Chain A
Amino acid sequence: MPSLIDLMLEGRGVAHHGPWPRAVVDAPVWNFAMSELAHGRWSLLGLWGEPSAVHMAIIDGQTAGIAVVSLDCPDRVYPSVGLHHPPALRLERSIRDLFGLAAEDLPDPRPWLDHDQWGVRFPLGDRIDAPPKAAPYRFLAAEGHGMHQIAVGPVHAGIIEPGHFRFTASGETVVRLEQRLGYTHKGIEGLMSGASLERAATLAGRVSGDSTVAYAYAFSRAAEAALHLVVPDRAVWLRALMAELERLANHLGDIGAICNDASFSLMHAHCSVLRESVLRASHSAFGHRLLRDVIVPGGVTRDISEQGTEAIQTVLNNIRLRFPALIELYDNTASLQDRTVDTGILTPALARQYAAGGTIGRASGRSFDARRALAYPPYDSLRFEVPVLNEGDVNARVWIRVREVEQSLALIDQILSRLPQGPLGTHAAHRRETREGMAIVEGFRGDVLVWLRLRDGLIERCHLRDPSWFQWPLLEAVIENNIVADFPLCNKSFNCSYSGQDL
């Protein structure tokens, strides 16, 4: 069986692409990579476009080898990956919307991000003016006796992001769920082009508000990979500290919110208090509750304050004191377990096929965690476990979060006790030539991928891939044959990002 490296040798290697190789290949090699994906030997990490090229990032799960293959498409068409490997479908529909590049024989040619409201078509490719119009969207059909449809969104009942869900139900049972997203599309990748590193880092930190650390972290690492910047040790460790604080806050919030969607508000109330305490400690340590704009290419913008360290320690102690009672409460409340156990099961086969990251993948037997698999510093010298379960139900996703809270507590302890001294950042030398970099960082939701090309010190093209791209479609599969009333529960246990996906 040929390895990823063999594949790279088939193509024309691209200079100044780090840390993993990128090669421009021809259609047969592209098709070969596609068939390896379809047969499950490799996994798709990302698929993105440029005005006349498409790029595909691939990981070999066995060796954690990563590569990017690129295909020039001067005729504006390329062989569809989604035809054989469904996880690529929505990505290809987006490439069509943004760049006007068509995937040949794409099974689902409907637009995805483009709702006919922008006033232009193919905004990142060859723009065409197109006045906004009300265009009907054809939802997939479900046939049978006594079916009815329930349309939800884009404005939902709760305080959440906008998206449309179209349920077809037979009585109480969901027969089909179809998502329609793209409502929060802000054109971030368009704004990135031509931006300075500084402005681009600001934008990256606003792709998905709950993952602002993860995005700034991934963007900065990609820029540093392109520029061969070496980040000072103290900044490396502070970044991990912030990443763990973000994970901790989000997981605590999610555990409570999942229980709340089963009407168990006591858990929600207590978890919200713990979450708030983490945000306050973050504010006291780094001056921002969500830790926004602290990680930048080259390092971090501010040091942790003295009282910040103490505040974090106090919060850790308090969580260690209070959290076990909450876990016990979750575990011993039969009426709550009745809702979460065996609900919304994601099979390990689907999780593997879609390379689903984060708690969703790890609750369905896929152990991938970028901190472990790619061991970027400082995680290569930290002790932690990656919890994995095989049940794949809502309950398993709760338990993975519980275990990850415990791991994050332990990680923060290690980081605080071993935090090296030294400078906080280094400046990038101005480079005129073209340089490319890629990075993958484990956010609380899963692996965030950022790829960018710099020319003359400015961003020429930057692609940011949220973990949700490979999780949203699975939610459609998971809800099948569950009752409508369990959808909020399933949805919350996934907690996919709208803004991260819509971009």
Chain B
Amino acid sequence: MRKLLFESLFRRPFTELPPLPDDAAVTELAGAVGRAARRRLGRSLSIREIDAGSCNGCELEIHALNNAYYDVERFGLKFVASPRHADVLMVTGPVTRNMREALERTWHATPNPKWVVAVGDCGRDGGCFAGSYAVVGGVAGVIPVDLHIPGCPPTPTAMLRGLLALLERVDSNAVTP
């Protein structure tokens, strides 16, 4: 173990330069983040991930955000275990009818101010599962959504761009009230 840790001291870090925030996301977010929010949050967001019936593809890529290449924690973005600790809910999946109540209850358990990011094509409108007896079809049909990140699944870079846009928004509102 010592050898591995020692090596890491001298090796160039894997972590890559951050991508630019997503322009489309910035537009979608206009007005979503208020001044009060900035005061309370600083430049950090705690994220609670909710799988509302996804195929697990989005979860794999959200996981990847935590690896050394993307390292989301350097931006103040942190995945937390409870909705009670969260500022942002990242929701995946077409929202199955069997998960609808759990999603609503998790949203209610999250303190204000809060934002909802719908991840993936099925989070937008149910994607290829739309029309099934078992899905609601889209996160916005159940709880208010502030930002959509499309893709099947979106790449970690795409998700990072979306989240950075959210963060920028939080930040800029504070500077120019």
Chain A residues in the interface with B (C-beta under 8 A): 115, 117-120, 123, 132, 154-155, 157-162, 182-188, 190-191, 199, 202-203, 206-210, 212, 253, 266, 269-270, 272-273, 275-276, 279, 289-290, 292, 325-326, 329, 333, 497-499, 502
Interface flags, B22-39, vs A, CB<8A=1, else 0: 000000000000000000
Q: How far is the CB of A207 from chain B (nearest CB, A)?
A: 7
- Bound form: Cα–Cα A239–B1 in Å: 38
Q: List 17 A-B contacts (CB under 8 A).
A: A118-B133, A120-B133, A132-B97, A155-B83, A162-B51, A162-B52, A162-B102, A183-B96, A186-B134, A187-B134, A190-B132, A208-B55, A209-B58, A209-B153, A266-B5, A273-B68, A276-B64
- A-B interface pairs (CB < 8 A), number: 147
- Bound form: Cα–Cα A292–B152 in Å: 9
B94 at the interface (CB under 8 A from A): yes
Interface flags, B1-33, vs A, CB<8A=1, else 0: 101110000000010000000000000000000
User: For residue B3, which residues in chain A have a CB less than 8 angstroms away from its CB?
Assistant: 325
Residue of A nearest to B132 (CB): A187
Q: Number of B interface residues at 8 Å Cβ cutoff, please give it.
A: 49
Q: How far is the CB of B10 from chain A (nearest CB, A)?
A: 15
Interface flags, B73-88, vs A, CB<8A=1, else 0: 0000001011100000
B59 at the interface (CB under 8 A from A): yes
Q: Is the CB of A212 within 8 A of B57?
A: yes
Q: How far is the CB of B140 from chain A (nearest CB, A)?
A: 18
On whether A158 and B81 interact (CB within 8 A), knowing A266-B4, A276-B69, the answer reads: yes
On whether A123 and B133 interact (CB within 8 A), knowing A161-B59, A266-B5, the answer reads: yes
Q: Is the CB of A183 within 8 A of B67?
A: no
Q: Is the CB of B129 within 8 A of A160?
A: no
**Top 3 nearest A-B pairs by Cβ distance?**
A209-B57, A187-B134, A157-B81
Residue of B nearest to A195 (CB): B128
Residue of A nearest to B7 (CB): A325
- Bound form: Cα–Cα A306–B61 in Å: 26
User: For residue B152, which residues in chain A have a CB less than 8 angstroms away from its CB?
Assistant: 206, 292
- Bound form: Cα–Cα A185–B135 in Å: 8
Q: How far is the CB of A450 from chain B (nearest CB, A)?
A: 16
Name the contact of B1 in the complex, choosing from A157, A333, A499 (C-beta under 8 A). A333
Q: Is the CB of B106 within 8 A of A160?
A: no
On whether A184 and B133 interact (CB within 8 A), knowing A208-B56, A276-B64, the answer reads: no
